Chain A
Amino acid sequence: MSQRLKNIVKAGSLLALASIAFGLGAARADEIVIGASLPLSGPLAGFGSFQQWGYKRAVAEVNKAGGISIGGTKQMVKLIIRDDKTDPNAAASNTETLISRDHVVAMLGSCTPALVNAGALVAERAKKPLVTGCDPLEAFKSVRKWNYVWDLFFDEPELAAAQFKALAELGAQTNKKIAIWHDNGPDGQVVGGKIWPALAKDFGYEVVQNAEFPVDNTQFTSIIGEAKSKGAEVVLVDAITPQAIAIRKQMAAAGFTPKVLNIEKGAEPVQFAEALGKLSDGILVGGYWDSSLPYPGAADLSKAFESETKLTSSQHIADSYAAAQILLDAIASAGSTDPEKINAAIAKTDKTYAVGPVKFDENHTAKLPIVSLQWQGGKTVIIWPKAAKTGEFLFPLP
């Protein structure tokens, strides 16, 4: 092959790849464009995949029903999703692009305070409505007074109190000595650093240990050893899933089996139980949704997810599905793609969705009802409150 031909091949290869990369799909004028930046890769990819499914399902349902009427004309909804790679910088730039290039009329949120905040601050400045779940309400409220951003999720104080109430009502007998282990993330500091110690006092417990660790810590033997030596029979943990798994395994290795082990946040996804096998049995976790709850579409949602993806469903399909439905309902109610009118319609939301009743307060937050879940045989059962109970309380921790 001559040098000239080689050069042409090289240039052609690069041009071909560039043209693949830059083959953008443009939105049509008769479409309602909404956008979302989600963690589809990186450490939070698990959450992002659930959210993506929830958002897409809500949009698909609306489009299947003929779209949304805007000014007397039915328009289809186009959802543009971008991957933020679990990076707040990318979440912010994705939101900027969705607003400035794709001209979205409104947005759906990402997951965890850092990612939601990064995108929400951009949407707030651009005066574009954004509805999100997956961001604990106290962490959400602490950022600023929101005007265009709305959050439906659990309230940290309610979640923190749920297990204390459950233990009291279920009559769990312990020596009332508590060890609290929590990460130093936004919700970890709130729940483990402030709320749990205060609640422990109110419910007559003695906090024998309160240990804080970085979000990426992997070694917990010294913390476990201290709790064991102090005779804690109740252990409350707030940590992300990889740490939650490491903690349970290291507890087993150290021969430390308290009577009650509650792990918030990290024990939510099914990957937690899959990684631990029998070690997950008996672990408590606060929850805001289960397909058995008596909300419209809750059971169908879980079945649809599992039949489509062949995966076990997660709570996150419910809040993301509801967030998208709330936004789409607001657009329909406004009958307009004007962000101000959509924002005003979101404020008036008062309806029961698959995730539960949703009505936003003056802080733009809607509290989702809390239940106490327990892992039993690789699945969660609701053990509290009594009205929603789907299984018996396994006590003490096996």
Chain B
Amino acid sequence: MKTSSGLAEVGVLLAAFVLLWFAPSFAGDYGLQIAFRVLIYLTLAESWNLLAGSTGLVSLGTSCFVGLGAYVAFGLMNAFDVPLPLGLACCAVAGGALAALVSPALFRLRGLYFTVGTLALAELLRLIMVNVSAFGGASGIFLQKDPPPLPVLFHYALVVALIASLAITACARSRISVILRAVRDDEDAAAQMGVRPYRTKLGAFILSSALVAIAGGVQATKLGAIEPYGMFGLQWSIDVLSMVIIGGVGLRLGPLVGALFVVALGEALADYPEAHVAIAGVILIVLIRFAPRGVVGFVENLAPFTQKKRVAA
């Protein structure tokens, strides 16, 4: 980390972490539930933004690693009674290992073909889980012991989100950022300049997948019951994609704003079960029409107007 802005960003992240650590003492159960959801989504969105926004690897395989993390965490806790932190560490290892395992095949594909490849990977894993009875088949598996209480799970989600944010900050505010962007903009040209595209993409893919798998493990622990259609569902991949697009692709605050927006919108519209799909559609159409760079981009566009107003005043 060389830049002062990077250090400032780390400072802000750590301050937010410390503040949020004490949230269970002042936020009610509902506040904690919402905060937990935002933190899980933030982790997923940050990870996806590293892959797609920084490295140009647009993935639809988020659900694959969410599900993997969920099954690894449950499997280890049920079979060996491992403590949750160790279980989550194993989720990260499993996520990274799977990413490394499939990358020789996936990295032969570029652009949209890579995207389709990640989608196929997610479907493959879902079908394996559905069809192999050792993994519980379509019925899924249940956590044999009661999950930790909500404040404890909130702290796990907070730590995971902090790790994800720090990792993305490290990538965005250091030399790595230049390498990632070089690979994203022109892989072949980057190779000519001495960058190793395969290693670069592999590193980003492993890091992103490991973070997503941990988030999957935490989410599953909170649920207490998992089955392949929910944990490997395409909805995870779509949600993450929506969050980053709504927040602002490639913008540092995009994932956070997107996660907050999606969770808040989902909560608000859930009170209108007959109309929520239509209302959400209208809101998204308006948002995309008037804010094509996402909410963060929209606010940035407003900034010059605000400044002009100040000057005029």
Once the chains bind, are A88 and B267 in contact (CB under 8 Å)?
A: no
Known: A14-B290, A101-B30, A214-B131. A24 touches B225 (CB 8 A): no
B69 to chain A, nearest CB (A): 14
Name B277's closest neighbour in chain A (CB-CB).
A41
The answer to whether the Cβ of B24 comes within 8 Å of any Cβ in the partner chain is no
Surface stretch bound by B, among A184-192, A252-260, A383-391? A184-192
Q: Interface of chain B, helix or strand or loop or mixed?
A: helix
Given A14-B291, A186-B138, 12 more pairs with CB closer than 8 A: A7-B301, A10-B290, A21-B265, A22-B264, A24-B268, A81-B273, A89-B230, A92-B222, A139-B139, A184-B138, A186-B139, A189-B133
Q: Which of B28, B264, B265, B269 contacts A100 (CB 8 A)?
A: B28
User: A7 and B302 in contact (CB under 8 A), knowing A14-B287, A20-B279, A214-B131?
Assistant: yes
Q: Contact mask B19-43 → A, CB, 8 Å, 1/0?
A: 0000000001110110001000000
A62 within 8 A of B: no
A13 with B271, Cβ < 8 A, contacts A118-B225, A121-B223 known: no
Do A22 and B268 have beta carbons less than 8 Å apart? yes
Q: Is the interface of A mostly helix, strand, loop or mixed?
A: helix
Taking a contact as CB atoms under 8 Å apart, the answer to whether A21 and B279 are in contact is yes
Complex: how many Å from CA A237 to CA B277? 34
Bits for B277-304, please: 1 = Cβ < 8 Å to A, else 0.
1010011001100110000001001100
Roughly how many angstroms separate A186 CA and B264 CA in the complex, as a whole number? Answer: 34
5 interchain pairs, CB-CB under 8 A: A13-B290, A14-B291, A24-B268, A188-B138, A189-B139
Q: Tell me the smallest distance from the CB of B225 to a CB of chain A, in Å.
A: 5
Check A185 against B138 for contact (C-beta < 8 Å): yes
Could you tell me which B residues sit within 8 Å of A by CB distance? 28-30, 32-33, 37, 127, 130-131, 133, 137-140, 142, 146-147, 219, 222-225, 227, 229-231, 233, 235, 264-265, 267-271, 273-274, 276-277, 279, 282-283, 286-287, 290-291, 298, 301-302, 305
One digit per residue, 1 when the CB lies within 8 angstroms of any chain B CB and 0 when it does not, for chain A 172-188 equals 00000000000111101
A93 to B35, CA, bound (A): 12
In the complex where A17-B283, A87-B235 touch, is A82 in contact with B224 (Cβ < 8 A)? no
- Known A17-B286, A21-B269, A118-B223; contact A7-B277, beta-carbon cutoff 8 A: no
In the complex, which residues of chain A have a beta carbon less than 8 angstroms from the beta carbon of B286? 13-14, 17
**A143 interface hit (Cβ, 8 Å):** yes
- Which listed residue (B37, B138, B147, B282) contacts A214, Cβ 8 A? B138
A97 pairs with B270, CB closer than 8 A:
yes
* B146: chain A residues within 8 A (beta carbon): 125
Asked if A96 is at the interface (CB within 8 A of a chain B CB), the reply is yes
A93-B33 CB under 8 A given contacts A17-B283, A40-B273: yes
Nearest Cβ in chain A — how far from B143, in angstroms? Answer: 9
The answer on a CB contact under 8 Å between A114 and B271 is no
A4 → chain B closest CB, angstroms: 6
Alpha-carbon separation in the docked complex, A97 to B233 (Å): 22
- Chain A residues with CB below 8 A from B30, complex form: 97, 100-101
Given known pairs A3-B305, A22-B268, the reply for A114 and B229 (CB within 8 Å) is yes
Give chain A nearest CB distance to B44 CB in angstroms: 12
- Residue in B137, B142, B233, B290 whose beta carbon sits within 8 Å of that of A87 in the complex: B233
The residue of chain A having its C-beta at the shortest distance from the C-beta of B31 within the complex is A100
Residues on B with C-beta less than 8 A from A82 are 270-271, 273
| A 85-109 binary contact with B (CB < 8 Å = 1; else 0) | 1011100111011011100000000
List residues of A (144-175) whose CB comes within 8 Å of B's CBs: 144
CB within 8 A of B302: which of A11, A121, A214?
A11
Nearest CB in chain A to that of B137: its residue: A184
